[in-house]
Structure 1
Amino acid sequence: MMKKVVIALLCVTLGSTLYAGDIFTSKTFIGLEVGYAEVQGDVGHMEGDMVVIEPDFKGDNDVEFGVKIGAQNDQWRTTFIFDYYDSSDNDQNIEKGYLTLDYFVLEKESTVRPYIGVNVGYANYESSYVDDSGFLYGGQAGIVLEAGEMINIDLGYRYTLSDADALDHIGSIVFGVHYMF
């Protein structure tokens, strides 16, 4: 399972560098993110001697954490993100690896820069009596605040669908801090 995730993310990351035409004008960054996510996925429980799976269980909201690495220039940002979501209330956890591509709507001279983007990735979803993996795809929008020459702050919304049978979608409000180098 982990081998599939690593290979898929490595292929996506290496593939994205092929079209990064002006790589020498890009700034590289690392960052952390924290978000509040709503997950819709299957959960299971025991009724007597039988396992009962509740499809598309709704209402699981909790905090997710992530690390980022990426590059950006005046118009585009490409980011690799690894997020972890764990809800003890409904015994759901998700490990997600994303590759995101964002387009900055305003020019570099602005301190606040809105963006729109797409994301692709892979996730492992686990819950009581449920263990499933699948590809992710979706979009995001938000704003980046230039807090200095080396620091920017990101606030956005990411909506992601999954092709896994047990995981339908994830919606996250995400706050991130990036250190540019």
Structure 2
Amino acid sequence: MKKIALAVLLASGLMAAENADYFGISFGNAELGVDLSVPGLSASTEVDDKHISFTLGHYYEDTARVWAGYSYVDTDSDVDDADAFSIGYDFILPLAENRLSLYADPVIGYTRYEEPGIDISGFHYGAQAGVIVRLIDNIEIEAGYRYLMETGSDTVNVSGIDVDIDADDLKMWYVGANLRF
């Protein structure tokens, strides 16, 4: 009987901790770096647009969280698809009585970028860092920066010359709100 009472006491203590699921929405800027090369010549360029991201995740107390997110990039050109799916595990440093926290984490996922005749979709990996400000118990504001290395590439033929197109990196600034539940 003592073992059962001890197990119930431990379980109730774990459930009382700050474990919580959350949903987040953020807005920001996304820059996709692209390298172009033909035999004997190379150049770099960036595609710069705004994005909206949706995130679902789970907090483990106030020191870590795991998340999965979808980012849609709103392009002004004739791009067919520009979006990314990522997962990450944040290491959180609570400050100021858990009302202000810093975080950093590794990120992996897949970026899809397709234009007519070009597909430089591929896997990505990198890191992000930011700050979380908890307004009330279940609402917080978040801002951060994500840097991802891209693996997508394609070769297109332009007037008989093969042009290699390689996605280099994806840089995202964002600010948004999270709802804990």
Equivalent residue runs for 1:1-181 within 5 Å: 24=15, 25=17, 26-41=19-34, 57-72=44-59, 73-89=61-77, 91=79, 93-107=81-95, 109-165=97-153, 166-181=166-181
CA distance in 2, matches of 1:101, 1:33: 18
Q: Is the 8 A contact 1:125 1:167 kept in 2?
A: no
Q: Which has the larger radius of gyration?
A: 2
CA distance in 2, matches of 1:173, 1:30: 19
SS at the partner of 2:62? coil
Q: Which runs of 4+ in 1 moved over 4 A?
A: 54-57
Cα 1:179–1:142 change in 2 (3 A) is same
CA distance in 2, matches of 1:176, 1:117: 18
Q: Is the 8 A contact 1:135 1:162 kept in 2?
A: yes
CA distance in 2, matches of 1:27, 1:100: 16
Name the amino acid aligned to 2:129.
A
Q: Which runs of 5+ in 1 are unaligned?
A: 1-22, 44-53
**1:110: Cα distance to partner?**
3.1
Q: TM-score, normalised by structure 1?
A: 0.73
Q: Is the 8 A contact 1:56 1:167 kept in 2?
A: no
SS at the partner of 1:77? strand
Name the amino acid aligned to 1:64.
H
Q: Is the 8 A contact 2:23 2:180 kept in 1?
A: yes
CA distance in 2, matches of 1:66, 1:145: 18
Superposed CA offset, 1:60-111 (max 9, x none): 2110111110011211011110011132247474221000111112358231
Alignment: residue pair count:
150
CA distance in 1, matches of 2:70, 2:93: 25
Q: Is the 8 A contact 1:60 1:90 kept in 2?
A: no
Identical counterparts, % of pairs: 24
Q: Is the 8 A contact 1:63 1:86 kept in 2?
A: yes
Q: TM-score, normalised by structure 2?
A: 0.73
* Greater share of strand: 2
SS at the partner of 1:74? coil
Q: Which runs of 5+ in 2 are unaligned?
A: 1-13, 154-165
Cα 1:29–1:128 change in 2 (3 A) is same
